[in-house]
């Protein structure tokens, strides 16, 4: 599952980097993926929206085992 999550994050990463941000995989605990938003994303007021409507949505679509994504 970790390889699938990493591959999905690589597809998301260019969109985040275009806005000065990035995402780092911290770990996976069961169906929960833990990520750290970096750069402009770490302090952005829209980070929660990016996390839930962007990163979590894409990961759930591409990796069905993912139940939720949390920021650490």
Q: Would you give per-residue pLDDT tens digits along the chain (72 residues)?
A: 999 999 999 999 998 898 888 999 999 999 999 999 998 877 778 888 888 888 999 999 999 999 999 998
CA distance 1 to 16: 22
pLDDT at 70: 94
Give residue limits of the domains in the chain.
Answer: 2-71
CATH topology for 2-71? GMP Synthetase; Chain A, domain 3 (3.30.300)
pLDDT digits (tens, 9 = 90+) for 56-71: 999 999 999 999 999 9
The phi, psi pair for 4, rounded to 5°, reads -65, -40
pLDDT at 68: 95
The phi, psi pair for 29, rounded to 5°, reads -125, 100
Q: What is the phi-psi region of residue 30: left when phi exceeds 0, alpha when psi lies from -120 to 50, beta otherwise?
A: left
Q: Is 67 helix (H, G, I), strand (E, B) or coil?
A: coil
């Amino acid at each position: 599952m970790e390889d699938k999550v990493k591959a999905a994050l690589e597809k998301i990463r260019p969109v985040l980097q275009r806005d000065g941000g990035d995402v780092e995989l911290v770990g996976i605990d069961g169906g929960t993926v833990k990520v750290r938003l970096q750069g402009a994303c770490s302090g952005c007021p829209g980070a929660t929206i990016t996390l839930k409507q962007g990163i979590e949505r894409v990961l759930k679509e591409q990796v069905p085992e993912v139940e939720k994504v949390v920021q650490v």
